[in-house]
Amino acid sequence: MVRFVDVAHMREWVASTGVPSIIRGMSQYMEDDFRRWDEFDKSPRVASHSNVGVIELMPTSDGVQYGFKYVNGHPGNPAAGLQTVTAFGVLADVASGYPIMWSEMTILTALRTATTSAMAARLLARSDSTTMALIGTGTQAEFQSLAFRELVGISSLRIWDTDPAAMEKFERNAAALGLEVYRASSAHDAVTGADIITTCTADKQLATVLTEDMIVDGVHVNAIGGDCPGKTELDAQILHRADIFIEFDEQTRIEGEIQQLDADHPATELWQVLCGDAPGRVRADQITVFDSVGFAIEDFTALRYVDDAVKGTRFCTEVDLIADPADPKDLFSLVSDSTLAVEPVHSAGGASAVIR
């Protein structure tokens, strides 16, 4: 049997545990996994692009467990009442190859992305940071805000979205969460006085959400919305002024903001900063950019964290996903049981079946 966390159970688990507590716990797991970076199989995700979006598979393994996430990115989806990003994932046992856990990952991706962003900011933003500009107040926004309050100490938010309804939605949710919010009149207005700028917009193009004149010395930019070839958020001039930090070089060169730069432009993988192998922020006036695209190890961490949290609790069920006959060589026994047989029924529209 495979443990199964469907949307209803994920919602119950998150509501009962609380987003801040999950972010704190998950950040410990994530730091542990980033510190053992060398133990993981790593490859850029497998992406299938269309003219409206992308569907991706994100696999990795630490030799004991294997995980993958299925995720899409379709910026036009909200106009049709659908999510831009949806996902599910699987954790498997490397020794047997059997899946052990299957989970919804749309909510979980928002939690893991927020955790990764805040973990990076803790290493890269000025330690006296209190104000964050949030450009794009869609799905990821509340999760980002809570993670930055919990892990970085952000107490004040300055928001901007091209869609007024998205800002209204955010303000409603933020009020219930006790977040202090200033609703800006433009991206320029939003970034004024901010210590950290998070860009989480969705647009399938080389967009310029931030221009160079919006960036002042000492700011940290958490750029999460540019995550596909031809889909970026920052003016390249910002990247030339900043020290750039990334997740996994091979993938980010294709998908991140740095796709706009020469292939040999310096960028530091975040795990190196965490392990003390490379410097993070070294000066108060330094401009840092976390060019985040989302990497498989973060999803592996999230699945591992949820599995440890929900196993043996009311927050998961089990599904019979693996055909596993008593005699491993007799798979046929599972389909030759006459009590399971159905009679084909032929109708004008084609064949259907009834259970005998």
Catalytic residues: 227
Q: Is 166 among the residues that bind ligand NAD (CB under 6 A)?
A: yes
C-alpha distances in angstroms, 353 versus 305, 306, 344, 348?
A: 42, 39, 4, 13
Nearer to ligand NAD, 172 or 311 (CB): 172
Size of the site for ligand NAD (CB under 6 A): 30
Dist CA 157 CA 141 (whole Å): 11
- Exactly one of 103, 109, 131, 251 binds ligand NAD (CB under 6 A); that residue is 109
Closest CB to ligand NAD among 129 and 137? 137
Residue closer to ligand NAD, measured from CB, 165 or 321: 165
Q: 35 with 127: CB under 8 angstroms?
A: no
Distance CA 157, CA 160 (A): 10
Q: Nearest residue to ligand NAD, using CB?
A: 138
- Asked if 53 interacts with ligand NAD (CB under 6 A), we say no
Nearer to ligand NAD, 109 or 131 (CB): 109
From candidates 20, 25, 76, 78, binder to ligand NAD by CB under 6 A: 78
Given 86, 259, 292, 301, the residue binding ligand NAD (CB under 6 A): 292
Per CB under 6 A, 139 contacts ligand NAD: yes
Q: How far is the CB of 112 from ligand NAD (least distance, A)?
A: 8
Reading the block at residue 9, the tokens are 């159970």
Q: Are 206 and 230 in contact (CB under 8 A)?
A: yes
CB 44 within 8 A of CB 251: yes
CA 299 to chain CA centroid, Å, is 7
- Contact pick of 44, 59, 99, 136 for ligand NAD (by CB under 6 A): 136
In the list 12, 37, 84, 156, the residue contacting ligand NAD (rule: CB under 6 A) is: 84
Within a 10 A sphere around the Cβ of 308, how many other Cβ atoms? 11
Task: Using the minimum distance from each CB to ligand NAD, give the nearer residue, 85 or 157.
Answer: 85
Residue 85 in contact with ligand NAD, rule: CB under 6 A: yes
Is 154 buried (19+), middle (13-18) or exposed (0-12) by CB count in 10 A? buried
The minimum distance between CB 242 and ligand NAD, in angstroms, equals 17
Residues 111-130 touching ligand NAD, rule: CB under 6 A, are 113
- Applying CB under 6 A, among 30, 119, 293, 296 the residue interacting with ligand NAD is 293
Backbone angles phi, psi at 348, to 5 degrees: -60, -35
Q: Record the tokens describing residue 20, joined without a space.
A: 């801040």
Q: Quick check: 291 binds ligand NAD (CB under 6 A)? A: no
Footprint of ligand NAD on residues 181-220 (CB under 6 A)?
Answer: 187, 200-203, 207, 209
Q: How many residues does the chain have?
A: 356
The Cα–Cα gap between 50 and 70 comes to 16
Instruction: Mention every residue, 6+ apart, whose C-beta is less than 8 A from residue 92.
Output: 65, 66, 67, 98, 99, 100
Three-class secondary structure of residue 220 per DSSP: strand
Instruction: Give the shortest CB-192-to-ligand NAD separation in angstroms.
Output: 15
| Alpha-carbon gap, residue 219 to 148, rounded angstroms | 15
User: Least separation, in Å, of the C-beta of 337 and ligand NAD?
Assistant: 45
Question: How many Cα atoms are found within 13 Å in the side-chain-facing hemisphere of 245?
Answer: 26
Q: How far is the CB of 98 from ligand NAD (least distance, A)?
A: 28
The residue (of 179 and 200) whose beta carbon lies closer to ligand NAD is 200
**Residue 223 vs residues 190, 233, 277: alpha-carbon distances, Å:** 15, 7, 23
**292 is written with which tokens?**
């985040």
* Range in contact with ligand NAD (rule: CB under 6 A) among 22-30, 122-130, 224-232, 337-345: 224-232
Which of 161, 195, 243, 269 touches ligand NAD by CB under 6 A?
161
Binding positions for ligand NAD, rule: CB under 6 A: 73, 78, 84-85, 109, 113, 135-140, 160-163, 166, 187, 200-203, 207, 209, 224-225, 227, 292-294
